[in-house]
Structures are given as structure tokens and as C-alpha cells.
Amino acid sequence: MKFNLAPWALVLALFMVSAPVAANGDSLAGDPIRVVTVESEFEYVLEDVKLAVTGRGLNIANTLHASDMLNRTARDLGFMKDVYSHAESVEFCSAVISHKLAAANPANLVLCPFTIGVYVLTDDPGHVHIAYRVPTGMPGSQAATDLVQSLLDDIVAEVAQ
């Protein structure tokens, strides 16, 4: 009896291509930015991000109203289409993690504040996207950047559930 491996090879190939998809949403493993998309209202998701940050005893240093600035300046700079209907970045830090980052390498100073962006695209008003940079520190900083990554993952997972 002959067994045709071709269909199984296709299934395996499709699985291998889809395997890098990160468990938390729209990003691929290895992407420098993680994005999770939820069906909700922008204001609710933004507030949930802020509550998840402050609920961990962390202070929000700043909220950048990105869509306001981009939409206000777009026409003057030759951009005829607004990308975002709403977009804000929440900046915060953890003193404990920041000390560990600095102890690993003083240049890691630039990794703080941590930022989570919340946005709605003008072309997709029914979805809210939550995005953050995957932290990459200087050599010898992996343990500290893993703490940042874990914190960001946990906050976004809490908000996205």
C-alpha cells in the first residue's frame, strides 16, 4: 500500500508558517512591536490600560494624545488621510525594573518609560489596537528586559481578556 505524503506535507507546511504567530494577537514572534486587537470602545480600552498600570502600583508619567497631534498637522505636512480616529500612548515606569535595567547597563536608561499605545484606525472603526515595543536592551540585560516584557505582556493580556 502506497501512502501519499503530499497532503500531509502541505498541512505541515501551513502549520509551520502559522506557528510563529504570537499568542497575544496580531503580531508574529520576533516582531519588534506586539499588537493585540479587541472589539470594544477606544475609551474603555484606554481606561483599562491605565487601570492595569496603576493597579500594579505604577505611576503613569504621561499620556501622549498622538491622534490629536497627527490629525492636526497632517494637511500642513501633505498627508491627506488621517491614519487614526483615536490614538494615545500611555507612558509609565517601574522603579524596581528600571533599577535592574540600569544595573545591567547604564545605557538602558532609554528603555524607560515603557509605552503602550491604544489606537483605532480610521479604516477600521470597530476594532481597538493595543501595541507596545518588545524591549531590547544592551548586552547582559536580558533578565531585566524579560521583566519589562513580562510586565507589558501581563498588562495587555489583562486588558484584552
Q: For residues 153 and 118, is the Cβ–Cβ distance under 8 A? A: no
pLDDT for the residue 78 = 96
How many angstroms separate the Cα of 158 from the Cα of each of 11, 25, 89? Answer: 33, 13, 17
Taken in order of first residue, the domains within the chain and their CATH numbers are 22-160 (3.30.310.70)
Residue 21 bridge partners (DSSP)? 28
Block mean pLDDT (10 aa), the chain, length 161: 45 33 59 97 99 98 98 96 98 97 97 98 98 96 98 98 92
pLDDT for the residue 8 = 39
Q: Are strands 59-64 and 124-133 parallel, antiparallel or unpaired?
A: unpaired
DSSP 8-state code for residue 122: T
**What are the grid coordinates assigned to 84, written together?**
487614526
pLDDT for the residue 68 = 97
CA separation for the pair 49, 33 (Å, rounded) = 17
